[in-house]
Amino acid sequence: MSTLPVFIQPADIDGELNDQDLQDFLQVMMAGITGLDGTLVRPRWQPTDPPNQPDLSTNWAALGVVRKERDNFEFQGHVPSSVGFAGNSFVIRHQVLHVLASFYGPTNESYSERLAMGLGLAQNRWYLTQAGYGLVEVGESVTVPAKINNQWVNGTDLPFSLRRRQKYTYSVAEINIANVVINIDNPVKQYVVKIQEDS
């Protein structure tokens, strides 16, 4: 615990991927497993000026994390400093990322099955495990035609879930010297403890 009553920001987040970095990580994985060109695996939510959708004869996909589910309880630990004035406290929690991949085009079902089956192969999951992710499950495929540019396009949604460990490290000041004085003059033997903290 810090000796000062202030909020502490993490000093390290153990390489955790979020935002665009997480989107890029998943895009590489999905393109690699399905064989789709990387330019045809797109973020589910685009900026205010999204690119034109591919034509009806092109197979393509969109994906994004739709929900993050955390463990109810975290683990907290502390590593004292060897020099005695500051150490590192850390918080560890596991999190499940619920990802939705949507496939469009003339053979959208085939590409969704490539992802579903490909995630079951250990060699394909190597990319995930090297980054600290594990496969939890692949969900049910759902047929979801979409109206794009006033035309109906066949589509398939495939949800899957990944688990990752979060570890956030915080630099925390420590108590360096503790001078203890015990006052036993009082018949009730009241103990008074004085603690000197680092400045």
Whether 118 and 177 have beta carbons less than 8 Å apart is answered as no
Q: Per-residue confidence of the chain (199 residues) as pLDDT tens digits?
A: 555 578 888 888 988 999 999 999 999 999 999 999 999 999 988 776 777 788 888 999 999 999 999 988 888 888 877 665 567 888 999 999 999 999 999 999 999 999 999 999 999 999 999 999 999 999 999 999 877 778 788 899 999 999 999 999 988 876 555 556 666 665 555 555 555 444 4
Name the strand (E) or helix (H) holding 116.
Answer: helix 108-118
From 130, 159, 139, select the one nearest 65 (Cα to Cα).
Answer: 159
Q: Mark residue 173 as left, alpha or beta (left: phi above 0; alpha: psi -120 to 50; beta: remaining).
A: beta
Model pTM score? 0.77
Looking at residue 87, its pLDDT comes to 79
Name the strand (E) or helix (H) holding 169.
Answer: strand 155-173
Domain extents in the chain: 19-173
Looking at residue 179, its pLDDT comes to 59
Rounded CA-CA distance 90/76 in Å is 6
CATH of the domain spanning 19-173: 3.30.2000
Percent pLDDT > 70 in the chain is 80
67, with CB counted inside 10 A (0-12, 13-18, 19+), is exposed
Rounded CA-CA distance 82/78 in Å is 13
Looking at residue 35, its pLDDT comes to 97
